[in-house]
Structure 1
């Protein structure tokens, strides 16, 4: 997931005489599953002035899970899971789950189903649920129904830089600020999360659909119109509680999957039919199919995994205002990206059911219509080309979207690692408050991650060492 950050070390595609060293991978990793082990790792790193990396699955585009010469606090095998039939606190009264930091999205879905419940997590089964995914916000199939993954967190168990284990919740007298920061304000920077307790939701059926809009040969204008119509309808879908994952290429726009939580197949088909009618009226060829699954887990198990590791990416959150006032310009920008042979994908959702300041996640999420991700394939055989690909994303592909969204935002888990003004783009107006919380709980800067709150106080040298700049 992080080829850009590993110096192409030990690549099977490189020449035989190429060096095979650790590159930017950590030098040592400690498999930590208890609070005592967490504390020991943090103490050792602090005592020896070691760069520390908090690593779960390594599902990470921005280099947060790597660090030359570093010691990793490895949380992958912290698989504890518990069902709480009644979590009774002032801020929530109902069923909940407590998951260890190493539980994956699929493992959480299976455990929830076994307890006749549903849990909000990610699209890809291998995502580390409680790690950077939820701590960074976390969108997924149920986003338009229940909100971001970070919106579900009731409390965090956290080992601080001091080694102290604390429980942070919104009703905590001492640590409500830490709960707020961890809930979407970025992972690996305020403390090391041992577990999170999240809301459990009632079991539900899930209908899914796939719609492919075929690009007409030699008629880019008609294709743009088709994209424009599709995006307008998808906005209505998300307002009705659906979430859509879609991909645009020079050959087609594929909406797959379209998630319909709590919807029977016939109801999902009826929701999509107006879009099919409008596309037919334009003369565009479409392919549509849908399926009803009797449980959320069954629906997720039916989805094909997407190969997400082979791309350099950049991202932008596209607000609803663009889709209601500048859809033509947006569709033109999408076509301009795919005409270069680059990827353009989106996750359309509506998470406005929660207040912008309720958690530490960028408040821009509450006005977002979709999270756009674009990029190009990693070049494994000509490594020097990869920086050119990344620069092309930064300097050519993203600017049209940035022009449409002045003062806008990017999803920090799926963003351009070269993002200019990343503090505003990733965290918005919350950055100043998040930085104050960071300094309160980690005054010596033990926790560092690229693009994380407080990382602007450090300079990363070529050998991976960190030096304070302020």
Structure 2
């Protein structure tokens, strides 16, 4: 930036309103309202709880306090290390191990390192005891359910972990009315899920067993509570909206140790804040109740890979894919991805709901015919359109019988048979991230007069690195009811006008500290990170100012308040000050984190 421009920018900073730069405004307010805490304590420092005090906590939680040790720690047993190495690509094992997380780290950002102690909570009372203990002793507090955070918010060294994995009950309701809403809100079919449950648990109970639908995540091992608090998308969000939009009620333990039931009429600001305001910032959610929906008759998918033989052919393929999406797929039936690769290939990984196989095939026929008619494009993998009864979409036994290649089971001897994951998600397990970015693309880019510019930007982006358009993670084209539910959440309002979320990233295999053979090539990782940044920067030339989805975003996001929450950030900051004035709950780049160092231990 030239010196004149820098001076001009500096002079205008005090005039920028809240919506334009919430980070600056909140930083001032945070510094003006610093609570009694100046720093959190670490082991060995004055104020760290004594053994007798830890024993008091152990007694308060029924013995469910444990010292946390990584299986790759030098002091760990050989048996623990061998089991970890054998199960390192099993997400269920990682989730069942207090010391490990679903992502092992991010180059130059963070590394998965376990907490000092963990409360393996089984009741809300356990959570209350842990929250009170952390507040009274000025401890760094971490909350982990599914442990899927790309940003490293599911663990922290020298901290106390509230581990909700064992709180995983799921119960159905035919006619649910939130507390305090009797006579004011019509009863709705719903499901109540405890904080440690995964979406595989929720889908099994709601869809496979009961024949209903609940809007959740696409990856079955993601935690329900974390996804809802981050806003959350699933394969069929273009029809049903965000996961947080379906939240009816939640039980939350706040920083004062109180158990609050939050819904549209009780604690409404807390209720709104946890609907997309980010997990771990406002309290510990111990249970959630989500509305369920009528289940479509059919779900299905479309797979295939198209290879272009030249740059010009790839440009034409990109342009046709964008045109075809706008004309045929920009509606509530379709979700998931088109992946634009840097080797001039387009991979189709789409899903649909509410259509039978014949209708889906007819929908895609013109696009497939266009590909076959060209001499410079070909199917590297022949397209397949499949449809199945929606009730079997998460039915592990159905897939074992009909398509075992699409699932990977938890192979531990005592594993529940329904605990499987999609084979396509296995590459994420234990990943060490090199770079990751996302951006919501406005639906105006699909207008005929702007499609060429979008196609040019897509092609330019692929010269650096590949990326995918996740159509289900942009809600433009969704029905009015889904938009209305999603509008009443804390998620960045840009999602309502976005036709897709663009995602680009790169990773290598598990690299937990101390893990034998785990030595990522850091130079290569940094090189990939630069290419990933260049790819997204090229794409964003047609979408300047695009916001980012908090759970799938850049660790190094600069103006993260505006990017993650946009105009909603001031309201979130006010809720944070009300329910957690001293900042007990901290996640890096979470609401209110401006007042703390990046590790959450020191007041700025």
1:253 equivalenced with 2:383 (yes/no): no
1:451 equivalenced with 2:589 (yes/no): yes
Q: Which residue of the other structure, out of 418, 424, 428, is the alignment partner of 1:308?
A: 428
After superposition, give the CA deviation of every residue in 1:301-346 in whole Å (9 maximum; x if it has no partner): 5553322243431111111112325333333333344433x34122
Any residues of structure 2 matched to 1:367-446 within 5 Å, and which?
367-378=497-508, 381-385=519-523, 388-389=526-527, 391-392=529-530, 395-446=533-584
SS at match of 1:318: strand
Equivalent residue number for residue 47 of structure 1: 136
After superposition, give the CA deviation of every residue in 1:395-416 in whole Å (9 maximum; x if it has no partner): 4232223322222200111001
- State which structure, 1 or 2, has the greater radius of gyration over its C-alpha atoms: 2
Shift in Å, 1:357? 4.1
Gaps of 5+ in 1: 10-21
The normalised TM-score by structure 1 is 0.88
SS at match of 1:285: strand
When structure 1 is superposed on structure 2, of 441-450 and 376-385 the one drifting more is 376-385
1:230 equivalenced with 2:321 (yes/no): yes
Equivalent residue number for residue 362 of structure 1: 492
Shift in Å, 1:241? 2.5
Shift in Å, 1:246? 2.8
- Report the Cα distance in structure 2 between the residues aligned to 1:124 and 1:92, rounded to whole angstroms: 32
1:3 equivalenced with 2:104 (yes/no): yes
Equivalent residue number for residue 115 of structure 1: 210
SS at match of 1:467: coil
Equivalent residue number for residue 166 of structure 2: 77
Shift in Å, 1:453? 0.8
CA contact (8 A) 1:207 1:290 kept: no
When structure 1 is superposed on structure 2, of 245-254 and 134-143 the one drifting more is 245-254
CA separation of 1:23/1:190 partners in 2, compared to 1, >3 Å: closer, same or farther? closer
Number of residues of Structure 1 aligned to a counterpart in Structure 2:
448
CA separation of 1:383/1:206 partners in 2, compared to 1, >3 Å: closer, same or farther? same
CA contact (8 A) 1:213 1:252 kept: yes
SS at match of 1:253: strand
SS at match of 2:294: coil
CA separation of 1:335/1:7 partners in 2, compared to 1, >3 Å: closer, same or farther? closer
- Report the Cα distance in structure 2 between the residues aligned to 1:451 and 1:393, rounded to whole angstroms: 24
CA contact (8 A) 1:314 1:375 kept: yes
When structure 1 is superposed on structure 2, of 100-109 and 380-389 the one drifting more is 380-389
Equivalent residue number for residue 450 of structure 2: 326
Equivalent residue number for residue 13 of structure 1: none
Any residues of structure 2 matched to 1:10-409 within 5 Å, and which?
24-88=113-177, 89=181, 90-112=184-206, 113-131=208-226, 133-172=227-266, 175-217=267-309, 219-235=310-326, 236-249=328-341, 250-256=343-349, 258-283=350-375, 284-286=377-379, 287-298=382-393, 302=399, 303=406, 304-305=422-423, 306=425, 307-309=427-429, 310=431, 311=433, 312-324=435-447, 325-340=449-464, 342-349=465-472, 350-352=474-476, 353=480, 354-355=483-484, 357-378=487-508, 381-385=519-523, 388-389=526-527, 391-392=529-530, 395-409=533-547
Tell me how large the CA RMSD over aligned residues is. 2.5
CA contact (8 A) 1:229 1:279 kept: no
CA contact (8 A) 2:466 2:535 kept: no
Shift in Å, 1:29? 1.6
- Report the Cα distance in structure 2 between the residues aligned to 1:195 and 1:83, rounded to whole angstroms: 13
- Report the Cα distance in structure 1 between the residues aligned to 2:164 and 2:230, rounded to whole angstroms: 17
- Report the Cα distance in structure 1 between the residues aligned to 2:558 and 2:275, rounded to whole angstroms: 24
- Report the Cα distance in structure 1 between the residues aligned to 2:524 and 2:123, rounded to whole angstroms: 39
SS at match of 1:210: strand
- Report the Cα distance in structure 2 between the residues aligned to 1:370 and 1:294, rounded to whole angstroms: 26
- Report the Cα distance in structure 1 between the residues aligned to 2:602 and 2:524, rounded to whole angstroms: 27
- Report the Cα distance in structure 1 between the residues aligned to 2:578 and 2:552, rounded to whole angstroms: 27
The normalised TM-score by structure 2 is 0.70
CA separation of 1:369/1:216 partners in 2, compared to 1, >3 Å: closer, same or farther? same
- Report the Cα distance in structure 1 between the residues aligned to 2:532 and 2:561, rounded to whole angstroms: 16
Shift in Å, 1:264? 0.9
CA separation of 1:6/1:98 partners in 2, compared to 1, >3 Å: closer, same or farther? farther
